[in-house]
Structure 1
Amino acid sequence: MQNYTRLNGTPITEEDLQQRLLGLKKIVVHHRRFQELYQVIHDSHLLKNGAAILGDTGAGKSTLFKTYEERYARTKKIKILGGHKVECDIVPILRVELDSNSRPANVASKLLQQLGDPLYDRGTEKQLTARVKNHIKDAEVELLIIDEIQHLIDTETQRVIRKAADWLKQLLNDINIPIIFGGIKEDAKRIFASNRQLDERFPYKPSFVGFNYSTVDQIKEFRVFLKSMDKELPLAERSHLYDPLLAKKIFYATLGIPRTLYHLLHHSLISALRSGKDKLEESDLEYGFSLLSFETRPKVVNPFHGKVFDLQVALENEKPSKS
């Protein structure tokens, strides 16, 4: 835990505020499920077998992939290519995050960009794919991670889905290195359902979902996660986010999704720091929550009001009314 200067009621400077918010972005809590799936990636890397990690939006898949990628630094190496000495980038872990409405050519282009090809956006799908295969070999890539795979099937037509699945299967066969796929669970499953051979290559599809808060063990796990977050917050004092009542309110506010928690803490930290506080108070969380948008939760209420809070009643009140 980094030591932060006490504010003692003096509003923070904008420069210090930006540095502290940057510190919040860098927090990565290796909770139980995170560690389990990190091991899945590591095993796939070492044992040369692929996996598809599918789950909820905001649960932490992308953070997991970035964390693993950062473990293996890129280096430079002199190689003889085409009879000439060439300085090549050595990329042990090649990770790409797909954009919306991607097609195989877009994926190939993005892979080439990550591999440092200056002409990454030039050529047909066939040409781009051929260059990807060559670059992956030259860069000595050991593991390929393709995140947000569901963007390959944003178009609903079955023909497009089959074409994307065929392309992925062929790429997998040709490069002969393990691949980790990541994506939104229900959407990404459609691409495997469209190609039996691809699906058979990835029989292991572990889920990365948000926290639950029903059993004693689930409540403990979420509070331990909050305690770890609390320890790393860019504040001079602990905020005790893991207090039983406050943890319950935070779960309701975020439904156990880490990304939503980061958004809540971002706005709450700004409120606290600009008020010269050295820890978060519930009033800061109340303000932070008021800035969030919950389009899929029209009946959500702000739980941070300092009063007794019943989680089950609050969740029940959000359910659609029976007509």
Structure 2
Amino acid sequence: MLMVDGRVQAEFLKMCIPHPRMSKAHRIYDNLRQMKILAPNKPQRCACLFAPTQSGKSKTVETYIETQIVDELIAEGLFPPDMDRDEIVKQQRRALYVTLDGAATVKSAVSDILLEFKDPRATLGTATSLLGRVYDYMRRCGTQILFLDEIQHLDDRQTEKDKKPKRAAMYESTAVTDTLKTMLIRGLVPIVFIGVDDAESMILGDPQLSARCVSKIEFESLRDDVPEERDIFLDYCGMLGIKLHQHGLFDEASNLIEGDLPAVIHRVASGRLGMASNLIAAACSIAREQRAPRVLREHVSGAIDEWAIPMGHIDYNPLAQGLRDYERRAA
């Protein structure tokens, strides 16, 4: 059984590996904010980021706030340059990152936003009164963009075990999306909707929201038969091996692009960068327990056996049994 290494998990949480898709997403966030700045009282636009879990969706937002937003705030003199950057992230309200609670209603969604403003009465009052407080906070704090994560929670109560729609839940979900549309129309703030693939229809299936969507940000699983996407994955694995050394986890950099390792990591992770990191984090735990100077092939193999297979991410070990024929051809 895999022994979790707290140091490894902590360093992976702090780790950031930029890649082309992340950079493109950040440019879209910049453009949405520019619309807000140049036309503050006009109806705002939205963007969507839908992808499988562990694709790096949340990481791209966190990195944007930790870098672009924090740098701006320091440059404008709103925070001292020697202040802890994590503390600036907590205190700033220019970019609001909200994770929706399960089974979201209008009131709970608005309460989630108020919690990010540290409102002590975030859950007290009617949905209408809470929404009024959100409007007030955003105007007073100069909020320029709202990131709404786990948007699929708008759909949590729409289906029962037999997958048949519940009328009350469908009404509640529609009420939430109508509230979000109103926020856009009133020019309050641009919104980036973030969620798993299944959530796409909730946003883009609404004619008014889809008409206001300026971009569907590409963040799907990277395909190994598309050269550009394969290169992104290879570069990510290469940098990940270097980061393990830079973050003090090992004495030497790890070569994660040697031989068939990239193809195997890709297969286990199904092309998801976040899942690839999770696999290597497990390999790090094994390597550090063995006091190895770097992560080796054998440690990745152990991570597949002790973590990936038990967690249901794959049902065999490609390093021990070889990539199956169709996977070998794709690699």
CA distance in 2, matches of 1:172, 1:215: 36
TM-score (norm 2): 0.78
Contact 2:110 2:130 in 1 (8 A): yes
CA distance in 2, matches of 1:19, 1:295: 22
Deviations 1:165-220 (A, max 9, x none): 21111122335222211122332322431x32222111422231122111444333
CA distance in 2, matches of 1:112, 1:150: 20
Contact 2:238 2:255 in 1 (8 A): yes
Deviations 1:247-278 (A, max 9, x none): 11111111111222222122211111011101
Deviation at 1:58, TM superposition (A): 1.3
Partner of 1:121: 123
Partner of 1:288: 303
Deviations 1:137-179 (A, max 9, x none): 1111111111121111222243233222211111223352222
Partner of 1:312: 326
1:207 to 1:186, Cα distance in 2 relative to 1, 3 A: farther
Partner of 1:222: 233
1:311 to 1:258, Cα distance in 2 relative to 1, 3 A: farther
Matches within 5 A, 1:1-323: 18-48=6-36, 49-71=45-67, 72-73=69-70, 91-156=93-158, 157=166, 158-174=170-186, 176-193=188-205, 195-233=206-244, 234-292=249-307, 300-305=315-320, 309-310=323-324, 312-313=326-327
Q: Which has the higher strand share?
A: 1
Question: Rg bigger for which structure?
Answer: 1
1:239 to 1:298, Cα distance in 2 relative to 1, 3 A: closer
CA distance in 2, matches of 1:67, 1:243: 28
Contact 2:17 2:240 in 1 (8 A): yes
Q: Which has the higher helix share?
A: 2
CA distance in 2, matches of 1:108, 1:175: 17
1:190 to 1:177, Cα distance in 2 relative to 1, 3 A: closer
CA distance in 1, matches of 2:218, 2:172: 25
Identity percentage of aligned residues: 20
CA distance in 2, matches of 1:172, 1:96: 16
CA distance in 2, matches of 1:295, 1:100: 27
1:197 to 1:313, Cα distance in 2 relative to 1, 3 A: closer
Contact 1:55 1:185 in 2 (8 A): yes
Q: Secondary structure at the match of 1:144?
A: strand
TM-score (norm 1): 0.80
| C-alpha RMSD over aligned residues | 2.7
Size of the aligned set, in residue pairs, is 288
1:90 to 1:262, Cα distance in 2 relative to 1, 3 A: closer
Deviation at 1:20, TM superposition (A): 4.2
Contact 2:253 2:294 in 1 (8 A): yes
- Identify unmatched segments of 5+ residues in structure 2: 37-44, 79-90, 159-165
CA distance in 1, matches of 2:257, 2:141: 45
Contact 2:50 2:217 in 1 (8 A): yes
CA distance in 2, matches of 1:67, 1:178: 19
Amino acid at match of 1:252: R
Contact 1:231 1:238 in 2 (8 A): yes
1:34 to 1:299, Cα distance in 2 relative to 1, 3 A: closer
